[in-house]
């Protein structure tokens, strides 16, 4: 491990043990997933880590109406699974996952780690939001493990406080979409290899040009990836060709992105509009 501040390393073999260790080691301890975040940006206050690699959270399985992905599933593992291929939502999930980083980091970065440390752009976070993802969170209740299910969109706004309260992400759940559902990922970046400045994921079903079950997620316009609720509402059960532009415009009015060296606030809004419309158009093609 490259972080010189780390003085203590634990590798529990079951979830209860992991939660107990995190509780007992105190505020200077953190859960270790793939290690990409803690090594990329060392945190001097963190002196102890609890490695989650021995908890058996690395499986992907289809169970009834949902796909279940363990929190230790790597980004590359997701790409190589049926969920990352073109047959699942047109390959949008795999495309967004590839945009997260190069191959070496994708082989280490985990779903749980990415969501626990998510930034405001996160292509994969956008794709999971547009897929109505849910998280299974585990915490201690007395001396036993208690699990609860939380929609990803509810988690993202409060992820730091949720995890600081002693919870661990153990699983990501994706509802299996209907056969007529399509999704598309669009992004703008400085170069094709760079991390996006702004990205969008649209998901919808359509028949005779009429949209249904509309989902639209954006990255790069807020502190975390977000859903554009007003745009979804404005396009639901409407003709895509006639109403997409107005629906997206309505959704963007609620946003106040922060500009930085990568792009001004005005640029981010303009690119969000363009990427959203491109993604919707690809879904409807």
Rounded to 10 degrees, the C-alpha dihedral 235/236/241/242 comes to -60
181-188, strands of its sheet edge to edge: 181-188, 198-207, 210-219, 226-227
d(CA 255, CA 20): 41
pLDDT at 2 over 60: no
pLDDT of residue 3: 62
CA-CA distance, 159 to 147, in Å (whole number)?
16
pLDDT digits (tens, 9 = 90+) for 149-161: 999 999 998 777 7
Per CATH, the number for 60-175 is 3.30.465.10
Contact, 284 vs 211, CB < 8 A? yes
Torsions phi, psi for 132 (to 5 deg):
60, 40
Beta strands in 126-278 (DSSP E): 134-141, 144-151, 168-175, 181-188, 198-207, 210-219, 226-227
21-66 pLDDT, tens digit each: 999 988 888 888 877 766 656 665 677 889 999 999 999 999 999 9
pLDDT at 171 over 70: yes
pTM of the model: 0.92
For residue 39, the model assigns a pLDDT of: 62
Range list of H helices, 26-158: 36-40, 75-80, 92-98, 103-106, 111-116, 123-130, 152-156
CB 268 within 8 A of CB 220: yes
**Residue found under tokens 């005779």:** 208
Question: What pLDDT band is residue 243 in, cutting at 50, 70 and 90?
Answer: very high
Backbone angles phi and psi of 273, in degrees to 5: -60, -50
Q: Is the pLDDT of residue 233 over 90?
A: yes
Q: Is 106 left (phi over 0), alpha (psi -120 to 50) or beta?
A: alpha
Find the distance separating the first CA and the last CA of the chain, reported in whole Å.
47
Contacts of 260 (CB under 8 A, 6+ apart): none
Boundaries of every domain in the chain: 8-50, 60-175, 183-284
Name the CATH code of domain 183-284 (choices 1.20.120.530, 3.30.390.50, 2.40.50.140, 3.20.20.70): 3.30.390.50
């Amino acid at each position: 491990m490259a972080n010189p501040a780390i003085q203590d390393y634990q590798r529990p073999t079951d979830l209860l043990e992991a939660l107990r260790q995190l509780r007992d080691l105190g505020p200077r301890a953190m859960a270790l997933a793939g290690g990409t975040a803690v090594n990329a940006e060392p945190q001097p206050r963190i002196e102890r880590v609890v490695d989650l690699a021995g908890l058996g959270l690395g499986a992907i399985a289809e169970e009834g109406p949902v796909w279940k992905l363990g929190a230790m599933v790597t980004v590359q593992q997701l790409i190589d699974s049926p969920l990352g291929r073109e047959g699942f939502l047109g390959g949008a999930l795999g495309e967004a996952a590839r945009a997260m980083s190069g191959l070496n980091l994708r082989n280490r970065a985990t779903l749980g780690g990415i969501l626990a440390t998510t930034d405001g752009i996160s292509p994969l976070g956008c794709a999971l939001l547009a897929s109505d993802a849910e998280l299974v969170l585990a915490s201690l209740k007395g001396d036993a493990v208690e699990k609860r299910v939380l929609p990803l969109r509810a988690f993202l706004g409060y992820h730091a406080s949720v995890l600081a309260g002693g919870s661990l992400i153990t699983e990501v759940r994706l509802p299996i979409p209907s056969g007529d559902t399509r999704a598309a990922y669009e992004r703008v970046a400085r170069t094709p290899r760079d991390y996006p400045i702004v990205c969008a994921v649209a998901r919808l079903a359509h028949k005779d040009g009429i949209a249904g079950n509309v989902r639209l997620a954006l990255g790069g316009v807020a502190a975390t990836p977000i859903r554009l609720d007003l745009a979804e509402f404005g396009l639901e059960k409407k003709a895509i060709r006639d109403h997409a532009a107005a629906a997206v415009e309505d959704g963007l009015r609620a946003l106040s992105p922060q500009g930085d060296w990568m792009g001004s606030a005005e640029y981010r809004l303009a690119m969000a509009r363009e990427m959203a419309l491109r993604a919707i158009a690809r879904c409807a093609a």
